[in-house]
Amino acid sequence: MTPHSLSQPVPAPRLEIRNLVRHFEGRAVVDDVSLRIQAGQVTCLLGPSGCGKSTTLRMIAGVEMQDSGEIYVDGKLICDTVFRVPPERREIGLMFQDFALFPHLSVAENVAFGLNGPREEKRARVEELLERVHLTRFIDGYPHQLSGGEQQRVALARALAPRPRIMLMDEPFSGLDNRLRDGVRDETLSLLKEEDTAVLLVTHEPEEAMRMADEIALMRGGKIVQQGAPYNVYTRPVDRAAVAFFSDTNVLRSTVQGALAQTPFGQFLAPGVPDGTEVDIVFRPQHVRLDFDRQGGGPLPTPSDGVAARGVVTRARFLGHESLVEFRMDHDGSVLKATVPNVFLPEEGRVMWLTVRRNRCFVFPA
Ligand SMILES: Nc1ncnc2c1ncn2[C@@H]1O[C@H](COP(=O)(O)OP(=O)(O)OP(=O)(O)O)[C@@H](O)[C@H]1O
């Protein structure tokens, strides 16, 4: 870094919300939520249905008022409990799943809807955006002549036409079928990046968040419980529910003695956990290793994989890029799941030995 760049002032986040709170019927539906998003960055607000994602988005859009907290755009206050810039002056673009196009307006008229200024300028912006979403040929067409994916791209062009500083997107792709969705998502993402827009995208689908986000804010019960790059949120989850939100999980319950949790898979480190504490050892099916039975025995213990435990196959299914195998474990009759790349479909009743990758396990208080 040069001395010159050191002296550059750090730009204020394009969007910042501080300590937003909203109650409905005495319940905090959004409970002290803070976020910062830079220009050109996509943050996904990810969480189960009803956790307060849409209410957060609506407060930023200005169609819902917070009980407390502030919203800033480029460092300027646009809303607290006293001062409020009206929604239409916030320079925020909106895209919702059911944000339908106007059926009686042509594609060009739809895209131009939020634009002011001379006709030629508006037309030039409409042509530019339709070119970028590869829909120039439909410029004089009407929404009913377009497929779902094409309509969604027009909606995106319409939302971006006035060059909003921020885009708020609420489950924008959930109306599209799977085949279309990936393509529309990728195209949307590259267009948003080109426009240098700060994006807050609400979704309940982890795959969508992993695919789209620079940063994921995991929300539950009105609070952001974890925030970070997708890789970090996935590999360093804060609790058991955060693991389970992204994938199937296996759980072993144990009690800590001497900073160790004993299990049929050997011991797990539980540093700093007091003796007598019940813990859950949580791991994903892809971190279970399978081995064949060798005359009643399994593989020898290793420091990285611990001790092998015996299980019997109850079900095996091929999922496309991997196979999911379920086992009933000898030690307590519990069911554990393992995934194996490609095709692996052992018959029901087959005995196998399971080990668990130590460096992929999470130990949480139960
Ligand atoms: N106007 C309202 N009056 C009363 N309760 C409301 C209102 N709006 C939202 N809620 C409640 O607040 C909670 C959070 O709703 P919100 O729509 O923000 O959740 P969400 O995470 O976006 O869920 P979904 O993905 O299902 O839309 C829900 O329990 C909802 O019923």
**Ligand 1 centroid to 91 CA: how many Å?**
25
- Give the percent of the chain with pLDDT over 90: 79
- Ligand 1 binding pocket includes 58 (Cβ within 6 Å): no
Nearest Cα to Cα of residue 268 among 310, 304, 233: 304
Question: Which residue minimizes the CA distance to atom 7 of ligand 1?
Answer: 24
Supply 281's token pair: 């050892």
What are the pLDDT digits (tens) for 189-233? 888 898 889 999 999 999 999 999 999 999 999 999 999 999 999
- pLDDT at position 191: 87
Quickly list DSSP for 232-249: HHHHS-SSHHHHHHHS--
Report pLDDT for 220.
Answer: 96
What distance in angstroms lies between residue 84's CA and the mean position of ligand 1's atoms? 22
54: Cβ below 6 Å to ligand 1? Answer: yes
> Tens digit of pLDDT for each residue in 300-355?
999 999 999 999 999 999 999 999 999 999 999 999 999 999 999 999 999 999 99
Q: Is the CB of 222 under 6 A from ligand 1?
A: no
The pLDDT value given to residue 277: 96
Q: Please say whether the dihedral angle defined by the alpha carbons of residues 169, 171, 177 and 179, taken in this order, is positive or negative.
A: positive
Of 45, 72, 93, 40, which is closest to residue 201 (Cα–Cα)? 45
Q: Whose CA is nearest to atom 22 of ligand 1?
A: 54
Per-residue pLDDT of 84-129, as tens digits, reads 999 888 889 998 876 678 999 999 999 999 898 899 999 999 999 9
Residue of 45, 19, 17, 24 lying closest to 245 (CA atoms): 45
The answer to ipTM > 0.90 is yes
The whole-model pTM stands at 0.88
Determine whether the shortest distance from the Cβ of 203 to ligand 1 is under 6 A.
no
